[in-house]
Structure 1
Amino acid sequence: MSDSKLYALILTPTRELAIQINNHLKAAAKYTGIKIAVVIGGMSIQKQERLLNQRPEIVVATPGRLWEMIENGNHHLSQVGSIRYLAIDETDRMLEKGHFQELQNLLELINVDEKIKKKRQNFVFSATLTMVHDPPKHLKLQKKKLKITPGQKLQSIMTALGITNPKVIDITSESGTARTLTEARILCTLEEKDFYLYYFLQRHPGRTLIFCKALAAYVDWHICLLY
């Protein structure tokens, strides 16, 4: 890789995940001379320009900032259409209609050349790909009783990425929930979330794992845990 081309692109939905992947790759490539750069929001574009000026062979990015830098004419990212390897994490979420429009723009750009597209290796990862879930909101509003099946998810991803002969590795267990756990859903307003969280932490003491969609939400939950 002495010519310092852009060989691989790894896309993630969040900057936290991109940073995590970037750190793991740098540790794995420590003695190889392979350069890796992360392109995410929340970091100055000037700093990321300097990182890309080093011509890294692998770029880990979130779609929004990556597309912004491509539109701004970054020279190294102009090679994105000829990458050999494309990896997307949380793929079904990333490709869901109405989300990550920049990713759709990227895929259109990457798939322009049919010869290069056929030679490119695509790696898609998801913890929920083989799970059946409710349809997007725009279909719910139409009162259509549809469930998105694993086969439909896979076909949608294949179409978006231009994959014709996928190899699927499924390590999903038969049950998505451990037998010792009880699953429940509470419908409440945004203002009531903290009260419900506090109640369950007091009512069921022990080790607790709380998932949040955003860093700001995490801060809010963390404050609740201090009480």
Structure 2
Amino acid sequence: MDQSNTSFVNLGIAPGFLEALGRMKITIPTPIQNKAIPVAMEGKDVVGIAQSGTGKTIAFGIPMMQRLAQRRGKGLVLAPTRELAVQVGEMLRSLSHAPGMEIAVLIGGAPINKQLNQLNRNPRILVATPGRLMDHVERRRNLLSDVNVVVLDEADRMLDMGFKPQIDRILQQVPRDRQTMLFSATMPSEIAGIARTYMKLPVSVEVAPAGTAAETVVQELFIVMHDSKAQLLRRLLEQYKGSVLLFTRTKAGARKVKIRVQSMGHNSAEIHSNRSLSQRREALEGFKSGKYRVLVATDVAARGIDVKGIELVINYDLPDEAESYVHRIGRTGRAGKPGHAISFAMPDQLQGVRSIERLIRTTLPVSKHPDMPVTQFSTHYVRYTPRRRHGTHRYR
């Protein structure tokens, strides 16, 4: 379905939700919304393959709330991180127009007594991280007994973070006669296994091949020695004038790079699991408002980052998993706007780069900065060539 020829009016959405979308100045559905909403409205199970920033929350939120407005029961949204859960809760509250559609956000790091008070008011929708939800299930055994819509948001990230046992326990406790929606940027075998085990003939909706990067993101690769990364970063921050999201592999690395960026004269903040919930919120809000130009993040903490207008994503360290690369660069180039993603690879990291290229099905163009020494990979580098033979990709 062509996004340009469709409006939300044609998707079977109730007038109250259309008014809410209008108040939010959201008038044209994104591709994932076009494809997922009509299917979800029919009560079918949905597997949605889409990157972050493509409008997934509206794609599952409106069908879920419209279904709950017509029947008893609760909705449950599972998210990998606190930040993402908070943002999903905020979006659902903005969409909600019906009285009594109360939403409880259950996340670690927040006072559990306050959450217990929320649950005592019998909310219609629970948005939770898996660990904190299991804490509440232990206290209240029947908490999930009337759930009739379940959403797994960024399911691949939840598995990467080790939440598979909790997800299994949760899905085993909710009623079988439910609607299940699963959204993921990639489709590893573990996700396919969840769909086979817990979903009923799910309809797959895909807005881009699993694992590919947004077409609006220009990608570059710099081969750089470890000791030269800071110098290259300085040059790039001088070259690009907009907001920058920078990724490191470790929490300690995030701290060091944040201090280094500050010393370069750029307001910056860090976001990782060693920061308290209030510190992470302050960093994220400061990044959104422009108080901080650069936000330094680890993969886990970045799952809740939903910020418009990020000009540049820098992979200061390559991710351990190729799938994380897709999630990282998906933070720029959103809503059809251009974005830029630059990765730093050290000479001995050719295998990591090749894994990324295999996943995104394209070659990362190697760039050279005029002020930096030319560096090459330390051994013969086999570049990925997206050429097909008998229907499959090959290398040469």
TM-score (norm 1): 0.68
In 2, Cα distance between equivalents of 1:126 and 1:91: 5
Contact 2:149–2:180, Cα closer than 8 Å, also in 1: yes
Equivalent of 2:194, from 145, 148, 157? 157
Greater shift, 167-176 or 22-31, is seen at: 167-176
1:62 matched residue in structure 2: 129
Q: Deviation digits for residues 9-56 of structure 1, max 9, x if unmatched?
A: 000010000000001111111454311010000111111101111110
- RMSD of equivalent CA atoms: 3.4
* Aligned partners of 1:5 and 1:55 also within 8 Å: no
Report whether the alignment pairs 1:182 with 2:220. yes
Mapped to 1, the partners of 2:93 and 2:252 lie a distance apart of: 28
Q: Does 1:224 align with 2:260?
A: yes
Q: Which runs of 5+ in 1 are unaligned?
A: 111-115, 130-147
* SS of alignment partner, residue 126 of structure 2: strand
**One-letter identity of the residue aligned with 1:80:** L
Local SS of the residue matching 2:109 = coil
% identical aligned pairs: 29
Contact 1:90 1:126 in 2 (8 A): yes
Structure 2 counterpart of 1:64, one-letter code: G
Q: Distance in 2 between matches of 1:213 and 1:32?
A: 44
Q: Which has the higher strand share?
A: 2
CA 1:68/1:35 → structure 2, altered by over 3 Å: closer, same or farther?
same
Greater shift after overlay, 20-29 or 94-103?
94-103
Distance 1:187 1:48, change over 3 A: farther
Aligned partner of 1:34 in structure 2 is 101
Q: Which residue of 1 aligns with 2:181?
A: 123
Matches of 2:257 and 2:213, distance apart in 1: 25
Out of 76, 95, 114, which is 2:159 matched to?
95
Could you tell me which amino acid in structure 1 is paired with residue 156 of structure 2?
D
1:186 is displaced (CA, Å) by 7.7
Determine if the alignment matches structure 1 residue 210 to structure 2 residue 246. Answer: yes
Alignment counterpart, residue 52 of structure 1, candidates 113, 119, 142: 119
The one-letter code of the counterpart of 1:159 is R
CA distance in 2, matches of 1:185, 1:107: 44
Partner SS state of residue 110, structure 2:
coil
Does residue 169 in structure 1 map to residue 215 in structure 2? no
- Structure 2: 5+ residue runs without aligned partners? 1-67, 264-396
Distance 1:62 1:56 in 2: 16
Q: 1:31 to 1:85 in 2, by over 3 A?
A: closer
Do the aligned residues in 1 keep the contact of 2:74 with 2:147 (CA within 8 Å)?
Answer: yes
CA distance in 1 between partners of 2:199 and 2:161 (Å): 19
The 3 A distance-change label for structure 1 pair 201 and 96 is: closer
| Matched-pair contact (CA < 8 Å) for 1:63–1:100 | no
For residue 108 of structure 1, report the CA deviation from its aligned partner. Answer: 2.4
Tell me how far 1:59 sits from its aligned partner: 0.4
Q: Which amino acid aligns with 1:62?
A: T
State the distance in 2 between where 1:62 and 1:97 align: 11
- Does 2:259 match 1:201? no
TM-score where L is the length of structure 2: 0.41
- Number of aligned residue pairs: give it: 189
Distance 1:225 1:39, change over 3 A: same
Match of 2:138, as an amino acid?
E
Distance in 2 between residues matched to 1:213 and 1:81, nearest whole Å? 40
CA deviation string 1:152-186 (max 9, x = no partner): 355312134x2131111101169526573224688
Deviations 1:43-78 (A, max 9, x none): 111111011111100000001111011112x37xx2
Q: Do the aligned partners of 1:12 and 1:18 also contact (CA within 8 Å) in 2?
A: yes
Q: Give, in whole Å, the separation in 2 of the partners of 1:211 and 1:44.
A: 29
TM-superposed deviation, 1:95: 3.5
Find the partner of 2:144 among 53, 76, 80.
Answer: 80
Structure 2 CA distance for aligned equivalents of residues 86 and 187 of structure 1:
46
CA distance in 2, matches of 1:83, 1:187: 52
SS in 2 for 1:181: strand
Deviation for aligned residue 1:203: 3.0
> Greater Rg, structure 1 or structure 2?
2
CA distance in 2, matches of 1:58, 1:109: 16
Question: Which residue of structure 2 aligns with residue 143 of structure 1?
Answer: none
